[in-house]
Amino acid sequence: MTHRQILQAMSGLMAGMFVAILAGTVVANALPTIIADLGASQSSYTWVVTSELLAMTATVPLWGKLSDLFNKKLLLQLSLSMFVVGSLLAGFSHGVGLLIFSRVVQGIGAGGLTALAQVVMASVIPPRQLGKYAGIFGAVFAVGTVAGPLVGGVLVDTSWLGWRWCFFIGVPFALLAIALLQRTLRLPTVKREVRIDWLGALLIVAGVCALLIWVSLAGNEFDWASWQTAALTVGGVLLLVAAVFVEARTPEPVIPLGIFKNRTVTLTTVASLLVGVAMFGGTVFLSQYFQISLGKSPTVAGLMSLPMILGLLVSSTVAGQVISRTGKWKRYLVAGAVIMAVGLALLATIDAKTSFGLLSLYMAVLGVGVGMLMQNLVLAAQNDVPATDLGAATSVLSFFRSMGGTIGVSVLGAILANRVASETAKGLSNAGVTVPGGGGGSGEGSVPDMSALPAPMRTIIEHAYAVATADLFLIATPFAVLALVAVVFIKEKPLKTTSGMERLAEESGDGGPAAPSDKDPAPVA
């Protein structure tokens, strides 16, 4: 495919990814208003985020396997359609229960987009040239991430629109993406007479959901040491053991266990899990910190996230271009992991009085590290597996990154809620106010409406959220360090110069162009 043909084929793909990114970022900035409007609790705030991540995480492996068996374009359109349904349900929600359910539907659709976008890219673009196009995706990611908080803030601050339009606004973009995919994306349909391993898929989804529900609810709905914990952990582990047993014996497993014999896949998977915990777990609560601790409006809070996004955009684009020219990629993985750990450690020092200049610097450092690391982990794995396993390998990395993010958001969300409650109780006690029950710290208190609080109480709450948010980044930092350790042990291999479709034709013996040697210099457009 020519450069122009690839760009045309990617137009619908980029529109779909823009929808998924916009949906997450536009809601993140509006969540404090949504939760307050629905009269929900801090744990509900966490669940609105976690439910989408959980659904996305649990379904990514299935989407990835389906992409190895069926028409990838049709699967992309199906995932976008589910996303539209979830967005409409969320926009019409009048209770937190329906809102969380709608986020689950959105999450299933987002799981398809997460798994399939990178699979399709690997199908039409050789690994050696992926860096150039990854930069375009980085730009789409940056625009969606920057526009989301700004649009969300404007919608929330505009009385005649309101937070419901944060969900409705993505619908026309999703419909546009479906139409563009139909018009521009041309992929050969894989015709393979196979039976999908539905039992294995069911066991994987059930086992992962049991464990993720446990980390989401433990500490809030029930104690960490309780019969509920025992039931969910033992049940989840037994389901996953049964899944491994089934996957090892089926001819078409959802997750081919053989790919973990590949050192690169195993190490990039471990690194992706740790990056998910560190990044998503730490940053998802930043908007709440901006609005509650620093007293900013939703619109201003959206603008405050710009340094991190710009850092991510610049580093991912530059690193991608350099990798395409030189073929060297490991140095950027190592540097990205180091810089991400430094960024998280710096953000662990924030408080209610931290200046925007310092915050911007810390967020930019984190963004630079993430931009160099995340996309290149996928590149390293895709480059080192057979073309028949491209979908499975890509979805495994996305799966573990999403699972890490879900675990991070759930566990750190529970820690945040308890830390806020205890810090608030301490502040009230120091002010001479008696707290019934000693301040608890259950995390079930409602997210406060800061504008309705008297000045002394507002100061106490601002301090409590600042201390709690800094603690989250402190907890996330060791996970970034462990990701660095995993990355250091990845062996650098030359990037292949043939696309996934060409490699598949060669591996299946169907002909196709002869593959240039991995040691040959790649043509650079």
Q: Report the 3 state secondary structure along 114-156.
A: HHHHHHHHHHHCCHHHHHHHHHHHHHHHHHHHHHHHHHHHHHH
pLDDT single digits (tens) 90-112? 888 887 888 888 888 988 888 88
Paired strand residues for 384? none
Per-residue pLDDT averaged across 418-434, rounded?
77
**For position 237, what pLDDT does the model report?**
92
The per-residue pLDDT for 437 is: 44
- Weakest-pLDDT range from 19-33, 159-173, 204-218: 19-33
Q: What is the average pLDDT score of the chain?
A: 78
Question: What single-letter amino acid sits at 54?
Answer: L
Rg (CA), the chain: 23
- What whole-number distance in Å separates Cα of residue 518 and Cα of residue 497? 7
pLDDT of residue 381 exceeding 50 = yes
Q: What is the pLDDT of residue 38?
A: 78
CA distance linking residue 494 with residue 525, whole number of Å: 19
DSSP 41: B
Q: Assign 468 a pLDDT band (cuts: 50, 70, 90).
A: confident
- For residues 473, 281, 267 and 132, what is the CA-based torsion angle, rounded to 10 degrees? -100
What per-residue confidence (pLDDT) applies to 444?
Answer: 46
pLDDT band at residue 515 under the 50/70/90 scheme: very low
pLDDT single digits (tens) 119-153: 787 777 777 777 667 666 766 766 776 677 777 77
- pLDDT value for 235: 92
* Measured distance CA(199)–CA(351) in Å, rounded: 49
- Is residue 164 predicted with pLDDT exceeding 80? yes
Q: pLDDT tens digit string along 354-373?
A: 888 898 999 999 989 988 88
Average pLDDT rounded to a whole number, residues 209-217:
77
How confident is the model over 452-467, as a mean pLDDT?
Answer: 79
Complete DSSP assignment for 218-284? BTTTB-SSSHHHHHHHHHHHHHHHHHHHHHTT-SS-SS-GGGGGSHHHHHHHHHHHHHHHHHHHHHT
pLDDT at 301: 75
CA angle 36, 40, 41 (to 5 degrees): 105
With left for phi above 0 and alpha for psi between -120 and 50, is residue 126 left, alpha or beta?
beta
- pLDDT for position 167: 85
Residue 227 has pLDDT above 60, yes or no: yes
First-to-last alpha carbon distance for the chain, in angstroms, is 12
Task: List, for residues 280-302, the tens digit of each pLDDT value.
Answer: 766 677 877 888 888 787 667 76
